[in-house]
Structure 1
Amino acid sequence: MRVVHVSQPVSAGVAAVVLDLACAQRDRGWEAVVVCPPGPLADRARAAGVEVREWPAGRWPGPAVVAESVRLRRVLRGLAPDVVHLHSSKAGLVGRLVVRGRRPTLFQPHLWSFQAVAGPVGRLSRRWERFAARWTHQLVCVSDDELEAGRAAGVRGDAEVVCNGVDTGRLRPTDRLAARWRLGLPDAPTAVCVGRLAFQKGQDLLLAAWPAVLERVPGARLVLVGDGPMGERWRAAGADPSVRWWGHDDVVGDFYAAADVVVLPSRAEGMALVPLEAMACGRSVVAFDVSGVRQGLGAAGAVLPVGDVDGLAAAIAARLADPVLADREGARGRRRVELLFDRRQVADQVATLVEKVVGRG
């Protein structure tokens, strides 16, 4: 069985899912190949012994799609896959234009394109997804909310929900003080936010809430882990000594361990990995009510309406001021991840879907 995973994102959540699936399928005895632009995903896949073919591709649609389609067609023709698994909207666009249903095709949006953009582009994205469903043998959604959004937009065809999973062996509860010492952070009430610095991820909303947190919990610290297109603008908006702009870091386990609470202020998600990773590390989570959050979080933290800055501040402050509450929620989260969101379960579910579409095709 040769499964080719095509992904335009090469970092963060989508890349992590792609690499986990490719490694699990290789361990199953299949031939898994990752097709992606140069970057961290390609480097890690090669280091893990997974075959990689480079596919230069940009994030957004436009005239470059023609050249990207030509390149991807050449790659897929040479690989002759049994199954093509397309990850994210850009790979879903180019991949389905190239394959057009001639090979068994799985499409995993990881967040519908029309949820990330508004206006004419969003409307065109809805029309495209409805049309491209004819070239999708299996739609794979990462949360019930994501599937519901697709159906509401008129996307039809066979669909299954396979929630994201995390490595519960690697991500485990560890000593908070030791993690702070390793990172050079002070021993103070600490909130951590991990994610790309982009409008969708909503760190500006968290920064707007932070002064109210400090009023309730003087001496609190906020650590922002990640970089991205909005980083320079947000940092220039004001320097606060209680906010640490850490930048990108591939090893996030210590940041979760150092936190009293982990914050997900995103405006949109499919099913974010950050809350699941924080839960695996036994940390309480405060998040906005975007797709997949309630399904993932359960009683392991607080969920606020998207954009509720005052509510976000109150929920963060409550957990920084009451470590017993935060630790109790963290323990619940750890149990929930072990039961429902271990990455081995995800790999088994996806393998079942791959075998199903091959059997049909």
Structure 2
Amino acid sequence: MPTNRSNAPLTVLHLVQPVEGGVARVVVDLVRAQAAAGLRAVVGCPPGGRLADAAREAGAEVLTWRAGRAPGPGLATEVPGARRLVRRVRPDVLHAHSAKAGLAGRLAVRGRVPTVFQPHAWSFDAVGGATAALALRWERYAVRWADRVLCVSEAERRAGASEGIHARWAVIRNGVDLGHFRPGAPDRDHDRALARAELPLPAAFRGDGPLAVCVGRLCHQKGQDVLLQAWPELLAAVPGARLALVGDGPDTERLRRTAPPGVLFAGAAADIRPWLRAADLVVLPSRWEGMALAPLEAMACGRPVLVSDVSGARESLPPGQARLCLVPPQDPTALAKGLTRLLTEPGLLAELGEQARQHARTDFDVRRTTDAVTGLYHELLGRPRPLNQERISR
């Protein structure tokens, strides 16, 4: 199925499901860089969501691949659909993103096209019982059809290896656009005030009291329910604290019904930077991740983060911050204590935020990520690794 066209640009087919959230943003960053570098980047994804339009604006060709997010009987049409896309595009590399695309894409080509599978967090962490056991058995078997399993953190790779997935691994950490995610003003307090003035905040949220912001899809994975359980204990110690949940998702109404006072459901935001800059602290109490983007984006904006100790979290934080900024997952008491410790010390928050900003600029430039992924494709194809045309500032 590969092209073998010596004078043609390298063609990459990104097979993607889901079409929202961090996975979609990673794909858009990749195709933007690949199109700019002269590659032919094609995205096959379901209609709806933000991915198709954003990928097209980034320079990719976008084709429809009808696939549901969850496993099920739809696989009987999803695999042939993926196979038709491969025959149409004739890619040099198939890059399958997340569990569903990894399942359908690898079944469709079965190693006949150089294949990169990027789990973006393991499917067997997302489910339980017999479903988790089945997902793990599949990953152990299907690894034979991946030339590389690309993990976004060393912890994600270790988690797969410890479960008996004997892959040819690559680890390339996520990155963020440091030109896009940055403080809006040099002075932190002024930056925060400007952002709060820009946002449609209720009157109760416009004061100087500490504001925690959680950005992410409202779903079981991201752990907003754990945060809401922790919030009353935090309010007992910091009565003026407010919390904004930025995002939407399947758990929205259930979370609304259980939310304590002082919580704003802000909905999805096309641009999350004002929310990050308005925050004193950005919190993400996930149950599982590969390496979450929201904490990286917050740090690039100069805001400290409090995250649960899941894959990628320790690798995200600046050296020395794990003691203060990392809590066990699914532990509301520990989360409340961590929030209280940070939100009662404005000076500490400012210091941690500046460390975070410098760390993001040093370690999480998306250009380094996209260059490394393109280099991986060339390595698989036995082509010379392209030289970086742009020096990445550290």
How far is the alpha carbon of 1:305 from its aligned partner? Answer: 1.1
Within 1, Cα distance between the matches of 2:199 and 2:341?
24
Paired residue secondary structure (1:336):
helix
Counterpart of 2:199 (choices 163, 168, 183) is 183
Letter in 1 for 2:267: G
Asked if 1 retains the 8 angstrom alpha-carbon contact of 2:213 and 2:281, the reply is yes
How far is the alpha carbon of 1:54 from its aligned partner? Answer: 0.9
> Aligned residue for 2:304?
284
Counterpart of 1:317 (choices 329, 334, 340) is 340
Letter in 2 for 1:181: A
1:78-128 Cα offsets, whole Å, 9 max, x none, are 100000000000000000000100010000000010111111111011110
Counterpart of 2:109 (choices 78, 83, 99) is 99
Counterpart of 2:247 (choices 226, 230, 234) is 226
1:51-73 Cα offsets, whole Å, 9 max, x none, are 10011110111111010111111
Within 2, Cα distance between the matches of 1:19 and 1:26?
10
> Aligned residue for 1:20?
29
> Aligned residue for 1:265?
285
> Aligned residue for 2:188?
none
> Aligned residue for 1:35?
44
Alignment partner of 1:249 is 2:269: yes
Asked if 2 retains the 8 angstrom alpha-carbon contact of 1:260 and 1:319, the reply is no
How far is the alpha carbon of 1:238 from its aligned partner? Answer: 4.4
> Aligned residue for 1:205?
226
Within 1, Cα distance between the matches of 2:107 and 2:127?
21
Alignment partner of 1:52 is 2:75: no
Paired residue secondary structure (2:159):
helix
> Aligned residue for 1:304?
327
**1:124-139 pair list within 5 angstroms:** 124-139=134-149
**1:125-164 pair list within 5 angstroms:** 125-164=135-174
> Aligned residue for 1:328?
351
> Aligned residue for 1:358?
381
Taking a change above 3 Å as real, the CA distance of residues 238 and 275 of structure 1, as seen in their structure-2 partners, is closer
Counterpart of 1:6 (choices 6, 15, 31) is 15
Within 2, Cα distance between the matches of 1:225 and 1:277?
14
Within 1, Cα distance between the matches of 2:103 and 2:330?
30
Within 2, Cα distance between the matches of 1:259 and 1:238?
19
How far is the alpha carbon of 1:359 from its aligned partner? Answer: 1.4
Within 2, Cα distance between the matches of 1:238 and 1:184?
20
> Aligned residue for 2:369?
346
In structure 2, stretches of 5+ residues that fail to align are 1-9, 185-190, 384-394
Taking a change above 3 Å as real, the CA distance of residues 52 and 150 of structure 1, as seen in their structure-2 partners, is same
Asked if 2 retains the 8 angstrom alpha-carbon contact of 1:165 and 1:345, the reply is yes
Runs of 4+ in structure 1 displaced over 6 angstroms? none
Asked if 2 retains the 8 angstrom alpha-carbon contact of 1:165 and 1:346, the reply is yes
Within 2, Cα distance between the matches of 1:316 and 1:355?
45
Within 1, Cα distance between the matches of 2:221 and 2:58?
31
Taking a change above 3 Å as real, the CA distance of residues 328 and 137 of structure 1, as seen in their structure-2 partners, is same
Paired residue secondary structure (2:325):
strand
1:191-225 Cα offsets, whole Å, 9 max, x none, are 00001111111101100111111111111110000
In structure 1, stretches of 5+ residues that fail to align are none
Within 1, Cα distance between the matches of 2:373 and 2:180?
21
* More displaced 10-residue stretch of structure 1: 149-158 or 100-109: 149-158
How far is the alpha carbon of 1:317 from its aligned partner? Answer: 2.0
Within 2, Cα distance between the matches of 1:87 and 1:207?
31
Within 2, Cα distance between the matches of 1:33 and 1:25?
10
Letter in 2 for 1:131: Y
TM-score, structure 1 normalization: 0.97
Asked if 2 retains the 8 angstrom alpha-carbon contact of 1:83 and 1:103, the reply is yes
Within 1, Cα distance between the matches of 2:355 and 2:300?
10
TM-score, structure 2 normalization: 0.89
Asked if 1 retains the 8 angstrom alpha-carbon contact of 2:41 and 2:59, the reply is no
Within 2, Cα distance between the matches of 1:349 and 1:116?
28
Letter in 2 for 1:15: A
Within 1, Cα distance between the matches of 2:71 and 2:239?
46
Asked if 1 retains the 8 angstrom alpha-carbon contact of 2:93 and 2:114, the reply is yes
* More displaced 10-residue stretch of structure 1: 51-60 or 319-328: 319-328
Identity %: 51
How far is the alpha carbon of 1:47 from its aligned partner? Answer: 2.1
Q: How many residues align?
A: 359
